[in-house]
Amino acid sequence: MPLKSNQYRTALRSAAFKRILLCCCFFASLQTAPAAVKDSTEKKFDYFRIGVDLSKLLASPLAKDYNAYEFTIDLHYRRDLYLVADAGFGNSVISNTNLTYKSRNTFLRFGLDKTFFNQEYKRDLDNAFVGLRYGVSLVNRSEAEYFIKDTVWGNSSGRIQSADFTAQWLELVGGFRIELLKNIFLGWNIRARTFVNPKKFAQLPPGYIAGYGRGEKNTSFGYNFYLMIGFGSKR
């Protein structure tokens, strides 16, 4: 009888040990499974897009006092973050009975976008985003001619010397991108901008600064409508 009892206890211990071992193997498999998913979502620099702002291409020929052209590139950095750079150029003309001058500029913006939604499937790159940008532009303003009509003190006219200066601003961006065809995207966004160095424009601001907007406004709002082409491996 004692022998049978010992054998019974030994059998129980053996069965318990097997259950513990199976549980350990099960939980170990659970621990390793997320690692594979994490690796798939942690790919960096695996996809990028380049694009042109269609709204500026269409508006510039129709505008009488300015034209502007903007281009963009975004690069998937990690998970829901993209590195973004925009560049472009343009010019503007102020011409009326009181004041005449021209300006031209080139600009660069760079920053980050954060997307909102998870991928519904492996090839899903449609998303909404918010982002921040820092913009800088090299501006050349031509010599300006002015005429002041004054019936009391008499009319006066003169010239204001040309100037070169740098414009700097910050932007808050929000929008979305949709893949219409394989690697072909449409993207729309709105922008709120504010000058970092508004004193540069106190005397005679450019009529329009490509990448920013109206030069006389310390805060401006704008939008872009991008056509983009993607390159790289889908996540």
Question: Could you read off the pLDDT of 141-196 as tens digits, one per residue?
Answer: 999 999 888 888 878 889 999 999 999 999 999 999 999 999 999 999 999 999 99
Nearest alpha carbon to residue 113 among 78, 70, 71, 88 = 78
- 116 and 37, same domain (yes or no): no
- 226 and 214, same domain (yes or no): yes
- 6 and 75, same domain (yes or no): no
| Phi/psi of residue 67, nearest 5 degrees | -145, 155
- 28 and 144, same domain (yes or no): no
- Domain containing 52 — which CATH number? 2.40.160.20
Whole-number Å distance between alpha carbons of 147 and 24: 88
pLDDT digits (tens, 9 = 90+) for 79-109: 899 999 999 999 999 999 899 999 999 999 9
- 9 and 122, same domain (yes or no): no
Q: What is the pTM assigned to this prediction?
A: 0.78
User: Where residue 19 falls among pLDDT bands split at 50, 70, 90?
Assistant: very low
- 22 and 49, same domain (yes or no): no
Whole-number Å distance between alpha carbons of 146 and 148: 7
Number of domains in the chain: 2
- 55 and 73, same domain (yes or no): yes
| Domain encompassing residue 20 | 1-41
Alpha helical stretches, state H, the chain: 2-41, 54-59
- 145 and 174, same domain (yes or no): yes
Nearest alpha carbon to residue 194 among 114, 129, 133, 120 = 133
- 18 and 92, same domain (yes or no): no
- 162 and 184, same domain (yes or no): yes
User: Where residue 71 falls among pLDDT bands split at 50, 70, 90?
Assistant: very high
Does residue 30 register a pLDDT over 90? no
Model pLDDT, residue 219: 93
Does residue 35 register a pLDDT over 70? no
Model pLDDT, residue 42: 63
